[in-house]
Amino acid sequence: MPRRIDPTADRAVYRQLADLIRDAINTGQLRPGELLPSEGRLAQVHEVGRDAVRDALALLRSEGQIVTERGVGSRVRDQTHTENVQLQRGDTVTTRMPTPEERRQLGIAEGVPVFVVRRGAGEMLHAGDRTRLEVHDQPADEA
C-alpha cells in the first residue's frame, strides 16, 4: 500500500524501493524467513518496472538483507549471531566478501561477509552472520 515512490526524485527508483523494503524489514513488518511479494507483484503495487524491482532486490541481496531462490522468491534473511570466537593477543582480523567457494563451504548466503582471523601462520575463516569475535577478558575484572 505504501505509495511513496517518486519517479521524478533525484534518488533512483530502485533505491527508493530498496529503502522501503529495508525499512519494512528493520521495523519488523517483514519478518525473518518471510517471503516477499513476487517481483511482478512489487512492480504492480509500487507502480514501477520490473528492472527497478530486480535492481532493488539485488541491492538488498548484496546487503545481506534477503536471499533469493529461483522459482520460489525472496525471503528476509535471519541475522542472528550465535557463535562466539575468542581472540588472542597477536591475532589480526580482516573482513571481506567470500568467494562463492568459501560461501559454499561455510554455508552462508550472498551478501554475508567473512572474518579472516590470522593467528601466527594460520588463518581461520568465520561466517560473518553468525560469529561475534571477543577479545579475551582477564579473569578478574568487569564482565
Q: Which residues bind DNA (CB under 7 A)?
A: 7-8, 10, 12-15, 36, 38-41, 43, 47-52, 54-55, 57, 68-74
Binding mask 90-129 for a second copy (x = CB under 8 A): xxxxxxxxxxx---------xxxxxx------------xx
Half-sphere exposure of 74 (CA within 13 A, CB side): 26
Binding segment for a second copy among 1-9, 32-40, 41-49, 83-91 (CB under 8 A)?
Answer: 83-91
Q: How far is CA 62 from CA 123, 136, 138, in A?
A: 25, 32, 38
Closer to DNA by CB, 8 or 82: give it. Answer: 8
CB of 68 to DNA, least distance (A): 4
Q: Is 36 in the site for a second copy (CB under 8 A)?
A: no
44 near a second copy, judged by CB under 8 A: no
**Residue 61, helix vs strand vs coil:** helix
Burial class (CB in 10 A: 0-12, 13-18, 19+), 125: middle
27 burial class (0-12, 13-18, 19+ CB within 10 angstroms)?
Answer: exposed
Whole-Å CA distances, 128 to 72, 82, 86, 118: 25, 11, 14, 15
Number of residues this chain uses to bind a second copy (CB under 8 A): 49
- φ, ψ (nearest 5 deg) of residue 84: -105, 135
- Stretch of 1-9, 35-43, 85-93 lying at the interface with a second copy (CB under 8 A): 85-93
The residue ranges that bind a second copy (CB under 8 A) are: 12, 15, 19, 22, 26, 55, 58-59, 61-65, 70, 79, 81, 87-100, 110-115, 128-129, 131-139, 141-142
